[in-house]
Amino acid sequence: MTERTDARSLAGQGMVLRSTLTSPFGRKARIAAKVLKLEASLELLVANTLDEKDSLRQQNPLGKMPTLLLADGTILYDSTVIIEFFDSLGEAPRLLPPAGLARYAAMTRATLANGITDAALLMVYEGRFREAEKISQRWLDHQRGKVFRGLDTITAALPDPAQTDLVSISLACALSYLDWRRPVEWRAGYPALVDWLDRFAASEPAYLATARPEGA
């Protein structure tokens, strides 16, 4: 039995995704599952990263989501690893080039989009977890620089909005998070990105299907 066949058999026994309906990184995994038609094998079990009693901390010592639980006890994290695993379950990869430099270039571009989300999250957390008088403007400026440098770089070579892959999923979820939490105002300065997101949303039904619930 090949590793790919073995992985498909394992996934068919059921997988549990520890995440929420609002996590941008969890959304990446949920989009990939829909695109690859894995929903029937995937259960979403809501996680609370701040709850010391949540089993997430035993499943993933970092206490982060998404975390994927497999039937044999294997645990996978983070979102990129989970999406790579999902992509391995088909006859051929669909979300990443199968091998070679193109694969690593795509993973690097996805990492850039993830870094935009990470920096935005840190800006949001600075305001959420610190008292107002202790908020560091220097820290916020540091993270803001990452966001805008990331947006500048990825705008110079946008992925095809009609093609759903690891890069486009990662970028769409990053932009959606910026729209939701608004750690920076990005739309006025990046009309090409606004157009790209609109076109991707129109092309990929899984993007709108995984949107955070109204009012969340």
Per the structure, how many domains does the chain have? 2
Euclidean distance between CA atoms 102 and 137, whole angstroms: 39
Indicate which CATH number applies to the domain containing 77.
3.40.30.10
Domain of 112, CATH number, reads: 1.20.1050.10
In a domain, 93, yes or no: no
Torsion, Cα of 195, 196, 202, 205 (10° steps): -150
Q: What pLDDT score does 215 carry?
A: 79
pLDDT of residue 92: 79
pLDDT of residue 3: 66
The verdict on 143 and 195 lying in the same domain is yes
70 and 14 within one domain:
yes
Is 213 a member of any domain? no
Q: 176: which residues sit within 8 A by CB, 6+ positions away?
A: 24, 27, 197, 211
Task: Give residue 112's identity as a one-letter amino acid code.
Answer: L
Q: Please report the pLDDT score of residue 93 as a whole number.
A: 85
112 with 106: CB under 8 angstroms? no
> Is residue 38, in this structure, part of any structural domain at all?
yes
For residue 39, CA distances in Å to 28, 70, 82, 183, 214 come to 13, 14, 14, 32, 22
Q: Which domain holds residue 104?
A: 100-208
Residue of 204, 12, 191, 200 whose CA lies nearest to 89: 12
pLDDT of residue 1: 46
What angle in degrees, to the nearest 10, is found between the helix axes of 166-181 and 191-203? Answer: 120
57-79: buried (b, 16+ CB within 10 Å) or exposed (e) per residue?
eebbeebbbbbbbbeeeeebbbb
Q: What is the mean pLDDT of each run of 10 residues along the chain (216 residues)?
A: 67 92 98 96 96 97 97 96 95 91 97 98 95 95 98 97 98 98 98 98 98 87
Distance CA 178, CA 45 (A): 25
